[in-house]
Structure 1
Amino acid sequence: MNGKFEFSTEERDETLNILNKLKSEIGHLLVPGDEEKLHEIIMRSLCQNELSRNSFGHNPILLCFQTALIAVEEIGLRRDAVIAILLNPGVQGGFLSLDDVRGMFGDSVAGILHGLKRIAELYSKNPVVESENFRNLLLSFAEDMRVILIMIADRVNLMRQIRDAENGGVKRNVSEEAAYLYAPLAHKLGLYKLKSELEDLSLKYLEHDAYYLIKDKLNATKKSRDAYIAGFIGPIEEKLTAAGLKFHMKGRTKSIHSIWQKMKKQKCGFEGIYDLFAIRIILDSPVEKEKMQCWQAYSIVTDMYMPNPKRLRDWLSVPKSNGYESLHITVLGPDNKWVEVQIRTDRMDEIAEKGVAAHWRYKGVKSETGLDEWLANIRSILEHNGDNLQVMDQFKMDLYEDEVYVFSPKGDLFKFPKGATVLDFAYHIHSKVGNSCTGARISGKIVSLREQLRSGDQVEIVTSAVQKPKQEWLNIVKTSRAKSKIRLALKETQVKEGLFAKEMIERKFRNRKIELDESAMTRMVKKLGFRETSEFYRHVSDGTLDINTVVDKYLEILQRDSNQGDVPVSADGYTLQNEVLPQGMDDVLVIDRNLKGIDYQLARCCQPIYGDSIFGFVTVSGGIKVHREDCPNAAELRKRFGYRIVRAKWSGKGSSLYSITLRVVGNDDIGIVNNLTSIISKDEKLTLRSISIDSDDGLFRGNLVVMLDDTSRLENLLKKLRMVKGVKLVERI
Structure 2
Amino acid sequence: MLRQYELVEKVLEYDPDADEAMLNRAYVYTVQKHGTQKRASGDPYFSHPVEVAGLMTDLKLDQATIITALLHDTVEDTLATIEDIEAHFGPEVARLVDGVTKLSKIEAMPENERAAENLRKFLLAMSEDIRVLLVKLADRLHNMRTLHFIKSPEKRQRIARETMDIYAPLAERVGMYEYMREMQALAFRELEPEGYATINTRLEQLRSQDGGQVDAIALKVKQRLAEAGLKVEVSGREKHPFSIWHKMAERHVSFEQVTDIMAFRVLTDTEEDCYCALGVLHTTWQALPGKFKDYISTPKTNGYRSIHTALMYENSMRVEVQIRTREMHRRNEFGLAAHWAYKQDGKADGQVAWLRDLIEIVEQSHDAEELLEHTRLAIYQDRIFAFTPKGALFQLPKGATAVDFAFAVHTNLGLATAGAKINGRHMPLRTALANGDVVEIIKNPHAAPQLSWLGFVVTGKARAAIRRSVRLKEHAEVAAIGSKLFDEIAIRVPARIGKKAIRAAIERLGMDEPDDLMFAIGAAKISDREVMEALVPGCTAGIEEDEHWARRERAVSIRGLTPGVAFELAACCHPVPGDRIVGIRRKGETVLVHAIDCLELASGVDSDWIDLAWGSRSVGALGQLSVTLYDRPGTLAEMAGIFAQNNANVTSLAQSQLDHPFTTYDIEIEVQDVVHLNRILSALRASDAVAQAERQ
Is TM (by shorter chain) over 0.5? yes
2:156 matched residue in structure 1:
171
Structure 2 residue 459 is matched with structure 1 residue 485: no
The equivalences for 1:58-97 within 5 A come to 58-73=43-58, 75-97=59-81
**d(CA) in 2 for partners of 1:126 and 1:577?**
21
Deviation per residue, 1:132-167 (Å, 9 max, x gap): 654344444444322222121112112212345544
Distance 1:33 1:361, change over 3 A: closer
| Aligned residues of 1:312 and 1:330 also touching (Cα < 8 A) | yes
Secondary structure at the aligned position of 1:91 is classed as: helix
| Aligned residues of 1:67 and 1:153 also touching (Cα < 8 A) | yes
| Aligned residues of 1:56 and 1:167 also touching (Cα < 8 A) | no
Distance 1:324 1:579, change over 3 A: closer
Deviation per residue, 1:479-537 (Å, 9 max, x gap): 222222222322332234344555667889999xxxx9948899599999xxxxxxxxx
Structure 2 residue 82 is matched with structure 1 residue 98: yes
Distance 1:330 1:525, change over 3 A: farther
Shift of residue 233, structure 1, vs aligned partner: 3.1
Secondary structure at the aligned position of 1:310 is classed as: coil
Structure 2 residue 227 is matched with structure 1 residue 242: yes
Which of 417, 442, 448 lines up with 2:422 in the alignment? 442
Shift of residue 399, structure 1, vs aligned partner: 1.5
Structure 2 residue 315 is matched with structure 1 residue 335: yes
Which of 185, 188, 193 lines up with 1:200 in the alignment? 185
Shift of residue 318, structure 1, vs aligned partner: 0.9
Structure 1 letter corresponding to 2:173: K
| Aligned residues of 1:351 and 1:358 also touching (Cα < 8 A) | yes
1:648 matched residue in structure 2:
none
Distance 1:319 1:39, change over 3 A: closer
**d(CA) in 2 for partners of 1:439 and 1:257?**
41
Distance 1:39 1:351, change over 3 A: closer
Secondary structure at the aligned position of 1:446 is classed as: strand
Secondary structure at the aligned position of 1:311 is classed as: coil
Distance 1:23 1:264, change over 3 A: same
Shift of residue 222, structure 1, vs aligned partner: 1.7
1:426 matched residue in structure 2:
406
| Aligned residues of 1:15 and 1:62 also touching (Cα < 8 A) | no
Shift of residue 325, structure 1, vs aligned partner: 0.6
Which of 475, 496, 513 lines up with 2:455 in the alignment? 475
Distance 1:527 1:85, change over 3 A: farther
**d(CA) in 2 for partners of 1:400 and 1:188?**
8
Secondary structure at the aligned position of 1:175 is classed as: helix
**d(CA) in 1 for partners of 2:111 and 2:484?**
52
Shift of residue 246, structure 1, vs aligned partner: 2.7
Structure 1 letter corresponding to 2:183: L
Shift of residue 548, structure 1, vs aligned partner: 8.1
Structure 2 residue 371 is matched with structure 1 residue 391: yes
**d(CA) in 1 for partners of 2:552 and 2:199?**
57
The equivalences for 1:107-122 within 5 A come to 107-122=91-106
Which of 30, 39, 42 lines up with 1:54 in the alignment? 39
Secondary structure at the aligned position of 2:259 is classed as: coil
Distance 1:429 1:176, change over 3 A: closer
Distance 1:358 1:525, change over 3 A: farther
Structure 1 letter corresponding to 2:67: I
Query: Structure 1-normalised TM-score?
Result: 0.65
Percent identity between matched residues is 26
Secondary structure at the aligned position of 2:300 is classed as: coil
2:18 matched residue in structure 1:
30
**d(CA) in 1 for partners of 2:197 and 2:637?**
50
Query: Structure 2-normalised TM-score?
Result: 0.68
| Aligned residues of 2:389 and 2:439 also touching (Cα < 8 A) | yes
Deviation per residue, 1:153-209 (Å, 9 max, x gap): 112112212345544343333222222221122122212222121111122223222
Structure 1 letter corresponding to 2:254: G
| Aligned residues of 2:127 and 2:348 also touching (Cα < 8 A) | no
| Aligned residues of 1:51 and 1:93 also touching (Cα < 8 A) | no
Distance 1:249 1:185, change over 3 A: same
Which of 183, 188, 194 lines up with 2:173 in the alignment? 188
**d(CA) in 1 for partners of 2:403 and 2:365?**
19
Shift of residue 391, structure 1, vs aligned partner: 0.9
Structure 2 residue 361 is matched with structure 1 residue 381: yes
Structure 2 residue 438 is matched with structure 1 residue 458: yes
2:557 matched residue in structure 1:
none
Which of 308, 314, 320 lines up with 2:288 in the alignment? 308
Q: How many residues align?
A: 538
Structure 2 residue 312 is matched with structure 1 residue 326: no
**d(CA) in 1 for partners of 2:253 and 2:553?**
54
Which of 198, 202, 215 lines up with 1:213 in the alignment? 198
Distance 1:445 1:395, change over 3 A: same
Deviation per residue, 1:615-654 (Å, 9 max, x gap): xxxx96699xxxxxxxxxxxxxxxxxxxxxxxxxxxxxxx
Secondary structure at the aligned position of 2:340 is classed as: helix
Of stretches 326-335 and 235-244 in structure 1, the one that deviates more from structure 2 is 235-244
Shift of residue 25, structure 1, vs aligned partner: 4.6
Structure 1 letter corresponding to 2:336: V
**d(CA) in 2 for partners of 1:557 and 1:68?**
80
2:326 matched residue in structure 1:
346
Shift of residue 371, structure 1, vs aligned partner: 5.2
Structure 2 residue 239 is matched with structure 1 residue 254: yes
**d(CA) in 2 for partners of 1:440 and 1:172?**
45
**d(CA) in 1 for partners of 2:120 and 2:30?**
33
**d(CA) in 1 for partners of 2:412 and 2:15?**
52
Structure 1 letter corresponding to 2:54: L
Secondary structure at the aligned position of 1:309 is classed as: coil
Shift of residue 212, structure 1, vs aligned partner: 1.6
| Aligned residues of 2:137 and 2:167 also touching (Cα < 8 A) | yes
**d(CA) in 1 for partners of 2:443 and 2:177?**
41
**d(CA) in 2 for partners of 1:326 and 1:418?**
19
Distance 1:35 1:469, change over 3 A: closer
1:723 matched residue in structure 2:
none
1:159 matched residue in structure 2:
144
| Aligned residues of 2:489 and 2:528 also touching (Cα < 8 A) | no
**d(CA) in 1 for partners of 2:363 and 2:417?**
24
| Aligned residues of 1:440 and 1:447 also touching (Cα < 8 A) | yes
| Aligned residues of 1:252 and 1:278 also touching (Cα < 8 A) | yes
Shift of residue 313, structure 1, vs aligned partner: 1.0
Shift of residue 43, structure 1, vs aligned partner: 5.4
**d(CA) in 2 for partners of 1:525 and 1:316?**
70
Structure 1 letter corresponding to 2:257: G
Distance 1:360 1:585, change over 3 A: closer
Distance 1:497 1:90, change over 3 A: closer
Secondary structure at the aligned position of 1:440 is classed as: strand
Structure 2 letter corresponding to 1:258: S
Deviation per residue, 1:61-80 (Å, 9 max, x gap): 1111111122332x453321
Distance 1:202 1:268, change over 3 A: same
**d(CA) in 2 for partners of 1:557 and 1:352?**
78
Structure 2 letter corresponding to 1:398: A
**d(CA) in 1 for partners of 2:215 and 2:393?**
41
Shift of residue 545, structure 1, vs aligned partner: 9.9
Structure 2 letter corresponding to 1:195: M
Of stretches 145-154 and 544-553 in structure 1, the one that deviates more from structure 2 is 544-553
1:407 matched residue in structure 2:
387
| Aligned residues of 1:102 and 1:109 also touching (Cα < 8 A) | yes
Shift of residue 447, structure 1, vs aligned partner: 1.1
Secondary structure at the aligned position of 2:290 is classed as: helix
Distance 1:411 1:162, change over 3 A: closer
Distance 1:20 1:163, change over 3 A: farther
Which of 241, 251, 273 lines up with 1:293 in the alignment? 273
| Aligned residues of 2:73 and 2:101 also touching (Cα < 8 A) | no
Secondary structure at the aligned position of 2:156 is classed as: helix
